[in-house]
Amino acid sequence: MMAAVLGTAAISGEGAWDLGDPHLDVIPRTPLETARIADVTALTDDFSKPQRFEDKPAGAATVRARRDANAFSQPSGNISFEDELTFKVGNGLFRKLWVSAPSSTLASDGLGPLFNARSCQRCHLKDGRGHPPENADDNAISIFLRVSIPGTPEDAMADIQGYFATLPDPTYGTQLQDFAVQGYNAEYSFGVSYQEQPVELADGTIVNLRAPTYSADNLGYGPLHPDAMLSPRVAPQMIGLGLLEAIPARDIIAAADPDDLDGDGISGRPNVVMSAVYQKPMLGRFGLKAGAPTVLEQSAAAFAGDIGISSPLHPSGAGECTEAQTECQAAIHGDGDERVYEIDGEGLDLVAFYSRNLGVPARRGADDPQVLRGKELFYQTGCTSCHTPSFVTHRLQDQPEQSFQLIWPFTDLLLHDMGPGLADNRPEARASGSEWRTAPLWGIGLTQQVSGHTYFLHDGRARSILEAVLWHGGEAQTQRDAVIEMTTADRDALITYLESL
């Protein structure tokens, strides 16, 4: 895709925004490096053998592909001995079970009062994907509902062009919590039902897709706003986040083509969000709609919304409790001691360091003829229009693990309209109700091994990679239809390739 006018203006400071990378201590690239990077990341047309370094998706940070459930829980392959200790301390905080205040364990109190999980690990099981419910009676772990209501034009963020005006639900805030500490009501119980939708492939195979309907049942604080918009979210895998964070914003925005000027039917757009740390618009990279600019800010938001833990970025000890939830606001919280917040800046930094340095496992079978045939189909079908194979990260002063690595995440980190079938009809920042950030594909073939299931997409409705492909619509409708028309052998090769990532 051709570079959009938006990209050039936004990152040069000549337009409305200066979308640089203030979160990174960058050593600028030389012209020679820029030329080399353009050459090494260009799409290949030779499918007779793997590309050079393709088997190391995280560059020097790649880790060996373990055969157990800990495959996503290893530190970056190029981490120093000293930083591995920091990684392990961060892991301890990531796994820590928080308890309600007051408690004798002051370093661990402050849970809730409303929450979705007692630890980060409880959602990101083994640092992999969460587990959606099978049906309405299943224990809906690792999934929750975001909520918001439409705002007025005056509520839109004037600093960000195209920002959707949305507001928290006046009673329930921006996220529904299905647990509460003793003595308080949970906000709701998660409800879901599925309707089978058969899709016939060209070879006669019938694939049944699960079309979900979600509900917020047993509301504990009265009704939702009549215009409430709900969006289900399953916790995504955690690997490679620091490398995604280190991709130059310029390189991401250069692929944006919001008006489809090249006529390929793909119109990727960057999400732009206000940074709580830098107090300026930044490129959104994290979250299912790219609603967070950095790993640190994504982590802080999860502590507040998922666990009810205050931090320097979200200082309320009541977490997601709104002013309408007076008992929750008046509860005993775990802040106010020498930490000031329930997790202080040092603890938040440790969790962010851990999250940045979860290693990406090496490819398996990249030279297998079946895999190479699947790769050819992936490229020729146009899947690379959104699932960009490779980038080179910034050269960094203080993050050697992420510095100047050739990586293969298979994402452009841009927003794409995925059609009405996948629409949650809930905007987020500049993302519309039918747009989602392209999900990285690295590690997708290890999902069963790590998470014990193969549920994909933002809400886990797809029970296999093939089902996930068949849910694609909107900008990806052409690619989805091409998969439907494939021969059995070609379709099997495509899936084998994806499972090798």
Q: pLDDT tens for the chain, 501 residues: list them.
A: 333 333 444 443 334 567 899 999 999 999 999 999 999 999 999 999 999 999 999 999 999 999 999 999 999 999 999 999 999 999 999 999 999 998 888 788 999 999 999 999 999 999 999 988 775 555 556 899 999 999 988 888 877 888 898 999 999 999 999 999 999 999 999 999 999 999 999 999 999 999 999 999 999 999 999 999 999 999 999 999 999 999 999 999 999 999 888 888 999 999 999 999 999 999 999 999 999 999 999 999 999 999 999 999 999 999 999 999 999 999 999 888 778 999 999 999 999 999 999 999 999 999 999 999 999 999 999 999 999 999 999 999 999 999 999 999 999 999 999 999 999 999 999 999 999 999 999 999 999 999 999 999 999 999 999 999 999 999 999 999 999 999 999 999 999 999 999
CA dihedral 280, 286, 288, 292 (to 10 degrees): -30
Q: How far apart are CA 100 and CA 110, in angstroms?
A: 5
Position 131 scores a pLDDT of 86
Check residue 139 and give its pLDDT. Answer: 58
Q: Which of 462, 9, 490 is nearest to 270 (CA)?
A: 9
H helices, E strands: number in the chain: 13, 15
pLDDT at 274: 94
pLDDT score recorded for residue 337:
79
**Structural domain boundaries, residue 427:** 5-499
Closest to 308 in 3D by CA, of 175, 218, 183, 219 = 175
Cα Rg of the chain, angstroms: 22
Which own/partner pairs from 150-155 qualify as long-range (CB within 8 Å, at least 24 positions apart)?
150/227, 150/229
CA gap 258, 119 in Å, rounded: 38
Q: Is the pTM of this model over 0.85?
A: yes
Q: Of 393, 425, 388, 423, which is closest to residue 266 (Cα–Cα)?
A: 388
List the one residue out of 140, 101, 93, 84 whose CA is nearest residue 120: 93
* Burial per residue of 437-446, b for 16 or more beta-carbon CB atoms within 10 angstroms, e otherwise: bbbbbbbbbb
Question: Which is it for strands 114-115 and 143-150: parallel, antiparallel or unpaired?
Answer: unpaired
Q: What are the angstrom distances between the C-alpha of 55 and each of 380, 411, 464, 485?
A: 21, 17, 24, 30
How much is the pLDDT for 311? 96
- Please give the helix or strand (H or E) that residue 149 lies within, else none: strand 143-150
Q: Which two tokens stand for residue 227?
A: 């215009």
111/439 Cα distance (integer angstroms): 30
453: which residues sit within 8 A by CB, 6+ positions away?
129, 131, 447
- The structural domain count of the chain equals 1
**Cα–Cα distances in angstroms (integers) from residue 399 to residues 30, 79, 275, 314, 329, in the given order:** 19, 10, 21, 26, 39
Angle at 320 between CA 95 and CA 346, to 5 degrees: 45
Question: What kind and span of H or E run contains 212?
Answer: strand 206-217
Q: Which has the closest alpha carbon to 151: 225, 60, 76?
A: 225
